[in-house]
Structure 1
Amino acid sequence: MSRIRRHLGLALLLASSTAFSATPAWVARSDAYTQPVLKDTGKYVPEDATELGDESFDTAVVDLKPRYYERELGDTEKRLKALRVQRAREQDPKVRQDLDILIDSREKKIATMKLEHQYLLNYMNVGELVYGGLRALLDPRNKPERQKLALVRLKRYAGKEAGYTPIALLAKARGEERLADRKLIGPYVGEVEEGLNNNATYMDGIEELFKKAGVAGWEADFAALKSQVADYDAWVKEHIVPRARKEVRLPEALYVNRLANVGVDIAPEQMIERAGFDFQEVRDEMQVVANGIAADRKMLTSDYRDVLRELKKTSIPADQLLPYYRERLKDIEGMIRAHGLVTLPERDANIRVATAAEAARSPAPFMSPPRLIGNTGEYGEFVIPLANPNAKSKDKMNDFDFTAMAWTLAAHEARPGHELQFASMVEQGMSVARASFAFNSTNVEGWGLYSEALILPYMPPEGQLVSLQARLLRMARALLDPQINLGRMTPQQAKDFLMQEVVLSEPFAQSEVDRYSYRSPGQATSYYYGYVKLRSLKTLAEIALGKDFDLKAFNDFVIAQGILPPALLKQAVLEDFIPAQKARVAAK
């Protein structure tokens, strides 16, 4: 399995050391404990450190030298032991909480490393690896001097600097080491085929990034790297493809581990039951809204599926897509201010269309977060792909470019969703432990889906129906992902269900089942689970405060906590927010 994480939606690590506000004393103390953990990340996967914003690793490349597993595991176990000692000595409650976050992250990392080493054949897609590593440096939000460091990383990837072996040769050597062990499970055939098909797009993407950055002197090293990737792909076809598994399902221990890593702490069976109930409830809500839309439009049918298909016909031309989304976001911001939902910044949010390479890597809308270590004014970007290069048909991906969709997608990815979530961490300051090592999809995506629900009551009926459709998709993810990974249904059956009941296009439905099957098994369940946790917590706060509950104050408080796991966020609401609100009311 690749040690470089996939860029899926918001499945990204973040860390914060902001230039926008003074660092509180407890944050400085916490960050001192966290720095060695960050350096561990950079030592073995410096590409991750680059995305975090740690410039000290900008020219380094992933460690694929012999015995990297043993070395990284040993260092992680030593770090865990040291953190436990520090936790026992620390007196500050907030710092202790951050040390708990760090300890949990190391425990999960060790468990994952051991399980994957026990079960899985070594495989990584070198084309995607080098694209991600170079893109992190060539990102247009980086200053020119940082972009130029991509030349050094490129040279090292290609083995053109003394002391460096081509990364493709190292990946091949690590793959060959355990190839003869027939007990190890190969990668899913769909994953391997997708990687092979996408690598030309990744190579084109690298070339495009260098040209846009205006960096000179990359051509010769890039030509060598491109040739090495092609040779590696030929080796993959000869040696990995025959070992690739035809069945999606992995051992259940691996799937449960992946659920835990994205913040889901219930059993797959419980997830299926809960999501199955809520799927029915949301679908019924959709039908009520669809009845009204059909009556207003004098449609011959009021079935929610047919109404959605009709709405999808209002396609926005590509050259008008970004202006249209920006207008909808202005409308949403007006709703937020009018109804006192959450505090908004004065500046505009950034929205753009994905490049071909970004769409190949992440064929669904996503937030590209800013660097949060050493941030000097960079903000996140809401990115919209217009096609799925991995689709199985030539059907148009019409799920994000029609007028009614703009409401819920802008609310989720921009405001009050992820853009606001990450900007808040930049502007107010946040400990690295909370912004990085507490990060998981449940924490992040729960807020995104919660944000859609905040705006839904104020949307026009068409926007409400599509917002409920987006919620229905999250329920479907939590229902289908576990069933695929428990061997109860095939990816094709899940795809058919999504196209029929959730009314997804073929390209988008394909990207969904690819996500459940091999891109990131378990991750898609986190939206629903995080949403349930956050809405339940809001109910507890409403009960505790009664008529004194202040929605804006609650949402601002949640945003101010950074990306906390549900259990820690609940603790903060119960121990800090509710008592503070009661004291504020009593003082009036």
Structure 2
Amino acid sequence: MDILVGHVQTRVQGIELESKYELPYVDATQVVLGGINALLDDQIAAKRQPAALVRLRKYAGLEPGIPPLTQSARHRLREALANPNLLAPARHQVERNLAQANRVLDEVAGSFEKYHVGGYEKALTTLRSQIAAYNEFIRAEVLPRCPIDRRLPPELYAFRLRNTYGVDMPPSELARVARAAFRDTQAEMQTLAGQVADTRRLSARDYRSVIGALKRDQLHTDAIVAEYTRRLEDINHIIEREKLITLPPGQPHIRLATAAESAYAVAPQTNCPPSRTKPTDEQQCETVLSVTLPAGTAAPQPSTIDDYTFAAASWTLAAHEIRPGHELQYDAMIARGVSRARTSLGVKLANPEGWALYAEYLMRPYMPPDARLISLQFLLLREARAFLDAELQAGMITGADALSLLKDDVVLSNAFAAAEVQRLANAGSGTAYFYGYSEFLRLRKDVEQMLGARFDQQRFHDFVMAQGKIPIPIIRQAILERFLK
């Protein structure tokens, strides 16, 4: 009950602060894509898929009593635009949304064709016209107000850090700690890069050059899913052999992203349907990998993402996104019957993202050296996100500074680095990964010290999974009150 009450109170406070400080901008195209994809999907029973047509008609205002989506969105925006003090979204975010609109709607049409749901043409034609007019309104009225480097008002930033992302540390302190960790990880990578260079007979020994050499062994597009599937089998075997955590039932789903999905999410994503309440439910968690960044997303031309489409990267990405990371966390909670309040409503981002980064840490000792190097590279990325987020909001650095660091020191591709800078416009989210990871490490260390030789990591991890995605301090309290007694 405390979780439910807290969720409602926090949501109300968040809405009030957003209304006070931000324009109520809506990307209508993304709303349509998400709504249709939720029904037109391989995991959805064929008898339910025709509901997508009804939903499309509602978006277009063709169902009785329901105004068009764009009409409602434009009305709210027009009222808010009268206040010149309201903060507009980041310029690159709006430009990306405008550039992708036609491609996304083409993909929506393709989904109706793929799943043989007919009669969509009139509604989609109407919706195309409405979205085109809405986007012209956005281009004329909203885009001129959009900042390049977006900084939230301090009150809103502090609220989101604590209440949305679960980060209970002053931004300046978090930036200091994350920068120190970044330097330590670089030193560890440099040592490991020398070993990988010796094994592969590379002349260059700097970690940046070694990572570049590893990236050249790119998987063919048709082989990516198979490689990740094999890696998942390796990881499952290690988890069971080392008794790291109890594996939930079921087989995770892995696929490549569509062009529209890549436009909105460059990094790998694991999507777990919130409606799922038991292991036998129709929809399962699904890991989606982007391969190409469409034109207009972060560059004028399509860009290849080479950051996780080579064998050495599959270890840490599979550990983070699938097992023992996101998919395992969600499926373990479902298998244990954890309440929806703990799996969905009480979520603070520091828990799931901190756990997934901790999952990489758990698997790292069992990875081959080249995979360990890439795993440390992705840890470096999460450390960079934490201090870049805080420093951008403090006005200490610019987006251009962040882009240079991500390309030069984290060794991200141009496309991935540009997308990361765009992602930092969602202020606060970048801090949750490193902060949550640090809190899980600290929690484990404290429990190990208290239990000594009696510490059982499988029992500890299973207990953590049974608590849900609630804030880590509440998990710590449960461990002190129940696990240690």
* Among candidates 407, 430, 433, match of residue 527 of structure 1: 433
**What is the one-letter code of the residue matched to 2:397?**
M
Q: Is the 8 A contact 2:189 2:373 kept in 1?
A: yes
* Among candidates 125, 128, 134, match of residue 226 of structure 1: 128
Q: C-alpha distance in 1, partners of 2:325/2:78?
A: 44
Who is 2:313 aligned against? 405
* Among candidates 282, 288, 293, match of residue 388 of structure 1: 293
Residue 317 (1) aligns with residue 220 (2): yes
Residue 153 (1) aligns with residue 52 (2): no
**What is the one-letter code of the residue matched to 2:298?**
A
Who is 1:204 aligned against? 106
Matches within 5 A, 1:25-36: none
Q: C-alpha distance in 2, partners of 1:127/1:336?
A: 41
**Structure 1 residue matching 2:39: 3-state secondary structure:** helix
Q: C-alpha distance in 2, partners of 1:358/1:424?
A: 27
Structure 1 residue 346, shift from structure 2 partner = 5.3
Q: C-alpha distance in 2, partners of 1:159/1:395?
A: 36
Who is 2:76 aligned against? 174
Who is 2:375 aligned against? 467
Q: C-alpha distance in 1, partners of 2:239/2:450?
A: 24
**Structure 2 residue matching 1:258: 3-state secondary structure:** helix
Residue 426 (1) aligns with residue 334 (2): yes
Who is 2:199 aligned against? 296
Residue 165 (1) aligns with residue 67 (2): yes
Q: Is the 8 A contact 2:90 2:148 kept in 1?
A: yes
Structure 1 residue 324, shift from structure 2 partner = 1.0
Q: C-alpha distance in 2, partners of 1:296/1:110?
A: 56
Q: C-alpha distance in 2, partners of 1:457/1:122?
A: 46
Who is 1:378 aligned against? 283
* Among candidates 314, 319, 334, match of residue 237 of structure 2: 334
**Structure 1 residue matching 2:316: 3-state secondary structure:** helix
| 1:515-550 deviations in Å (ceiling 9; x for gaps) | 112xx2111211111111111111111111110101
Once superposed, what is the RMSD of the aligned Cα atoms? 1.5
Identity %: 39
Pair 1:195–1:534, CA change in 2 (3 A): same
Q: C-alpha distance in 2, partners of 1:522/1:296?
A: 40
Q: C-alpha distance in 1, partners of 2:148/2:76?
A: 23
Q: C-alpha distance in 2, partners of 1:395/1:134?
A: 26
* Among candidates 423, 427, 434, match of residue 515 of structure 1: 423
Q: C-alpha distance in 2, partners of 1:452/1:315?
A: 22
Who is 1:571 aligned against? 477
Structure 1 residue 417, shift from structure 2 partner = 1.0
Who is 1:262 aligned against? 165
TM-score by length of 2: 0.95
Matches within 5 A, 1:523-562: 523-562=429-468
Q: C-alpha distance in 1, partners of 2:379/2:433?
A: 9
Matches within 5 A, 1:453-492: 453-492=361-400
Unaligned residue ranges in structure 1 (runs of 5+): 1-98, 580-588
Q: C-alpha distance in 1, partners of 2:473/2:140?
A: 47
Q: C-alpha distance in 1, partners of 2:383/2:84?
A: 38
Deviates more, 1:488-497 or 1:235-244: 235-244
Who is 1:102 aligned against? 4
Q: Is the 8 A contact 1:201 1:360 kept in 2?
A: no
* Among candidates 64, 82, 89, match of residue 187 of structure 1: 89
Residue 343 (1) aligns with residue 246 (2): yes
Deviates more, 1:231-240 or 1:460-469: 231-240
Q: Is the 8 A contact 2:167 2:432 kept in 1?
A: yes
**What is the one-letter code of the residue matched to 1:125?**
D
**Structure 2 residue matching 1:415: 3-state secondary structure:** coil
Q: C-alpha distance in 2, partners of 1:415/1:562?
A: 16
Structure 1 residue 378, shift from structure 2 partner = 2.7
**What is the one-letter code of the residue matched to 1:385?**
S
* Among candidates 245, 249, 257, match of residue 147 of structure 2: 245
| 1:405-444 deviations in Å (ceiling 9; x for gaps) | 0010011111111111111122221112111111121110
TM-score by length of 1: 0.79
Q: Is the 8 A contact 2:352 2:469 kept in 1?
A: yes
Q: C-alpha distance in 2, partners of 1:266/1:404?
A: 34
Unaligned residue ranges in structure 2 (runs of 5+): none
Q: C-alpha distance in 2, partners of 1:385/1:528?
A: 23
Q: C-alpha distance in 2, partners of 1:521/1:388?
A: 22
| 1:317-364 deviations in Å (ceiling 9; x for gaps) | 001111111111111111112211111245432111111111111111
| 1:62-115 deviations in Å (ceiling 9; x for gaps) | xxxxxxxxxxxxxxxxxxxxxxxxxxxxxxxxxxxxx22122222221222122
Q: Is the 8 A contact 1:370 1:380 kept in 2?
A: yes
Structure 1 residue 146, shift from structure 2 partner = 2.4
Q: Is the 8 A contact 2:277 2:334 kept in 1?
A: no
Residue 360 (1) aligns with residue 263 (2): yes
Q: Is the 8 A contact 2:330 2:343 kept in 1?
A: no
Who is 2:23 aligned against? 121
Structure 1 residue 377, shift from structure 2 partner = 4.2
